[in-house]
Amino acid sequence: MRTSIFDIDNWREIGATLARNKTRTFLTAFGIFWGTAMLAMLIGGARGLEDILRRNFDGFATNTALLFPGRLTMSYKGFNKGTSYNLQQADVDGIRQSVPEVTALTSVYSVNVVASYGRQSTTCNATGVDAEYPLIMQPVMYEGRFVNASDEKNERKVCVVGKKVADEIFEYGESPIGKYVSLSGIYYYVVGVAGQTSDIQINSKIDESILVPGNTLRRSFNLGDDIGGLMLRVKDGVTPTSIQPRIERIIRRNHPIHPDDDNAIMFWDISEQFKMVDSLFMGIMILAMFVGVGSLLAGIIGVGNIMWVIVKERTQEIGIRRAIGAKPRDIIVQILSEGVILTFVAGLAGICFATLVLYIAQIITANEVSVPHFQLFFSQAIGIMVTFMVLGTLAGLIPATKAMKIKPIEAMNDK
């Protein structure tokens, strides 16, 4: 009499056995269900959470730094502590000439204006930028083009309107390209409509601003050579922090800043923020694996426990089967079948539940810009199931081996 996991009678016997231990079976099945679901949700959800956090930096070059003037914290050359200063075009020119590692550099400064077209108007920032701005901020162009080097060199009165500003001052469906908008009484020709995906903003987001060539904005609003701040991008393999001393040396040369005054120049290395994000998600993945493995082991221990109980309760039955000719292999297959089937059914339910939860999370967190990947790949689901099946089988080996060694005469006398 040979027993196979595919025999119908074997399945019926397994079901009857598990039904006799309803409470233990339910708790074990729930442990396996929750273990697989937790592990699947942690693996699939970690990538989605990373996508959400990285969405804040999307459309912004990673090897970038921001530089702004501060206040003097040490008196120097007749200038008292607390004196403010402004960056100037000479600082931009000095960095371009002396720091070859900088591949893109733009000054950024804003003027609050009333933007109007026809009878519609809104208050926003007119932001002066250089032609290299798109290499750093990477705007989304909805229509037209961005400010270019020719616009900057010839001080053309052209502008790129932010998407939100365009929606406020132009009629629905009307293209702003080729129109003239007034910025506090000064007219600019619209060459593009832009927005941004990153949550990083300098003064204001692109969507809420009107971008103008820097030279044109300074001349139009009598700003002289003063600029608000700098954005720079460095070569691959170079970090902004590594060239920070040289950049600060150029600025100190042009302004009355004490050589030891480290707080007078604000330097923000964006690449460090990306490294922090990478480290954060490495920690999240380790935590996810730790929690998932813990849940997995709890479910597997439950399988082993219920197999021990089943062997104990069926000692006499096993003995009788041995007495009428059942081979050790048949006993092992019978016991292992119960653990494997319980693990498979509960694990499959856990995978399906996790997939549903991840799908709902993806729908909730999606926006018009991006869709976070709250997804569990098929290979990952198979890997989780195979892992549970293998460990569930191993957990049942010891009880199955014990059942195989039961002697018929001892089993008949067991009470």
Question: pLDDT tens digit string along 186-222?
Answer: 999 999 999 887 666 667 788 899 999 988 998 888 8
Same domain, 101 and 40: no
pLDDT at 4 over 80: no
Domain-located, residue 247 = yes
Q: Which residue has the higher pLDDT, 410 or 43?
A: 43
Domain-located, residue 81 = no
Domain-located, residue 348 = yes
Same domain, 107 and 234: yes
Same domain, 181 and 280: no
Same domain, 137 and 232: yes
Specify the pLDDT at position 382: 87
Q: What is the mean pLDDT of the chain?
A: 79
Mean pLDDT of 323-336: 68
Domain-located, residue 259 = no
CB 375 within 8 A of CB 60: no
Specify the pLDDT at position 380: 83
pLDDT digits over 9-32, tens only?
454 555 555 555 566 667 677 777
Same domain, 50 and 91: no
Same domain, 247 and 295: no
Same domain, 180 and 328: no
Domain-located, residue 269 = no
Domain-located, residue 213 = yes
Same domain, 171 and 308: no
Same domain, 95 and 217: yes
What's the rounded Cα separation, in Å, for the pair 412 and 401? 19
Among the listed residues 43, 206, 234, 211, the one whose alpha carbon sits nearest the alpha carbon of residue 136: 234
Q: State which of 224, 254, 284 marks the end of a domain.
A: 254
Half-sphere exposure of 412 (CA within 13 A, CB side): 8
Placement of tokens 């994000």 in the chain = 277
Domain-located, residue 77 = no
Q: State which of 201, 222, 254 marks the end of a domain.
A: 254
Specify the pLDDT at position 2: 46
- The SS3 assignment for 56 reads coil
Same domain, 303 and 373: yes
Q: Which residue has the higher pLDDT, 2 or 131?
A: 131
Mean pLDDT of 217-246: 86
Specify the pLDDT at position 116: 93
Q: Where are the beta strands (DSSP E) in 243-349?
A: 265-269
Same domain, 279 and 175: no
Domain-located, residue 68 = no
Question: Which residues, at least 6 apart from 100, have a Cβ–Cβ distance to it below 8 Å?
Answer: none
Same domain, 302 and 176: no
Total of domains in the chain: 2
Beta bridge partners of 195: 140
To the question of pTM greater than 0.75 for the whole model, the response is no
CB 43 within 8 A of CB 328: no
Q: Which domain holds residue 338?
A: 8-57+275-413
For residue 78, give Cα distances in angstroms to 31, 43, 71, 72, 142.
74, 61, 14, 12, 51
